[in-house]
A and B are shown apart, each in its own frame.
Chain A
């Protein structure tokens, strides 16, 4: 009997650990989603900027706001900067997608493990109850 109770206690401790891990994973996934959202918004904005820049004449003045300073920029330079930024953001998004998938898989496996543990605990408790 005492061995059973100690086994139950061990299993319960394991269950606690696993649930902590699961909650951590879930937090990570939530953060990932947030960052993804931010990046998606930025990507959209940059694409709009690119469109407008393309509509500008060659001699139009473009300024960039760096802190409190408005700095005059070359149109070509601005174009290339915006394009590079767009590429960077897309790459980041892809990376985040991969991470999120990874995290989700880990989450699922943790959930399964937790379920199994719970089932074990239940079965032990029922046998204890019978005995």
Chain B
């Protein structure tokens, strides 16, 4: 039952060749090592700064300190450290300032803050590099495993009636619209639709199609829209018989109803426009299904969503019928059904 799906298979190895990914990963590792070395350097400075602040605090505690003074490269001699509160602080660029210990501590603290901000920025850079390295590692592993990327056209399948319908339907609903309110409405509508379908089958066999359709078009409510669409896939005969007059009436009724109901002339224009658009596109068959699903995704308002979908369904089915009258009903069912599924999303 499953059609062969057209699609492209690209192995990840071709997209990201293993050697190149390896090289890139190595490069990132190298950059990370550099940054880490710089970070260590800066952290050393921070530690030195803190030690210096402590020293500067301690020195003024005594009037003079007994120390071993370095003399040349390899000698010391005993001496005394005096003027313990006076510090010549290097400000930078060869400039020194005479300051007390408290003021020196202030200067050092400010320098410490600048160092801290540098450390932070370095750490952020290292984190980014880490993320890059992880990504490369992942792609290397995947490419080595031989993972492939498969892209397929999205095709709905008509296999087992209700259950399969509800399956992709529920998917649609979750993808496209809010799901919570949908499910209640949806179950209600499904029940109603089933009843109506049975009605129409009987009616169609007896040959009163047109009347019923026209009656249903006059009904107020979302259900009317869906009735039209659901009735279509039942029998190809019904389909053929009823489609042309019905669809025209459908289009008109939908257009008018939407205009009345929602007092939004724009929607009617949009619908007509969409239908015109569609008729030029429909010949593409299965791809059309994928396209229309996408188109639906892009529009924002749920109201317009719904109506556009219904119009699309009807016009699509109509032109499908005209273009491919000889095709078995199976195919037309397949093409229409996506729209039906979409149509079942409730509007609110």
Residues of A within 8 A of B (CB): 42, 45-46, 48-49, 52-53, 56, 60-66, 70, 73, 78, 82, 85
Contact = CB atoms under 8 A, between A and B. Distances in A.
B110 to A, nearest CB: 8
B91 to A, nearest CB: 5
Interface of B: 88, 91-99, 107, 110-111, 114
Contacts of A65: 94-96
Most chain B CB atoms below 10 A, which of A45, A63, A73, A78:
A63
Contacts of B99: 60
A56 B99 CA distance: 9
Contacts of B107: 52
Nearest to A45: B92
Nearest to A61: B98
A78 B98 contact: no
B96 A66 contact: no
Nearest to A63: B96
Top 10 closest A-B pairs, CB basis? A61-B98, A65-B94, A49-B92, A63-B96, A45-B92, A49-B91, A52-B91, A62-B97, A48-B92, A49-B93
A32 B92 CA distance: 24
A49 B95 contact: yes
25 contacts: A42-B93, A45-B92, A46-B92, A46-B93, A48-B91, A48-B111, A48-B114, A49-B91, A49-B93, A52-B97, A52-B107, A53-B91, A56-B97, A60-B98, A61-B98, A62-B95, A63-B95, A64-B95, A65-B94, A65-B96, A66-B94, A70-B88, A78-B95, A82-B95, A85-B93
A52 B111 CA distance: 10
Nearest to A85: B93
A53 B90 CA distance: 11
Contact of B96 (A42, A46, A64, A82): A64
Contacts of B114: 48
Nearest to B96: A63
A42 to B, nearest CB: 7
B222 to A, nearest CB: 62
Contacts of B97: 52-53, 56, 60-63
Nearest to A52: B91
Contacts of B98: 60-63
A63 B93 contact: no
B88 A82 contact: no
Contact of A45 (B93, B96, B110): B93
Contacts of B93: 42, 45-46, 49, 82, 85
A63 B94 CA distance: 8
Given A46-B92, A70-B96, 20 more contacts: A42-B93, A45-B92, A48-B111, A48-B114, A49-B91, A49-B93, A52-B97, A52-B110, A53-B91, A53-B97, A56-B97, A60-B97, A61-B97, A62-B95, A62-B97, A63-B88, A63-B96, A65-B96, A73-B95, A82-B95
Contacts of B110: 52
Contacts of B91: 48-49, 52-53
Most chain A CB atoms below 10 A, which of B94, B97, B98:
B97
Contacts of A82: 93, 95
Contacts of B95: 49, 53, 62-65, 73, 78, 82
A64 B92 contact: no
Nearest to B88: A63
A64 B91 CA distance: 10
A42 B92 CA distance: 9
A52 B99 CA distance: 11
A56 B96 CA distance: 11
A44 to B, nearest CB: 9
Nearest to A62: B97
A11 to B, nearest CB: 32
A20 to B, nearest CB: 28
Contacts of A52: 91-92, 97, 107, 110
A62 B96 contact: yes
Nearest to B98: A61
A36 B346 CA distance: 65
A49 B107 CA distance: 11
Contacts of A78: 95
Contacts of B111: 48
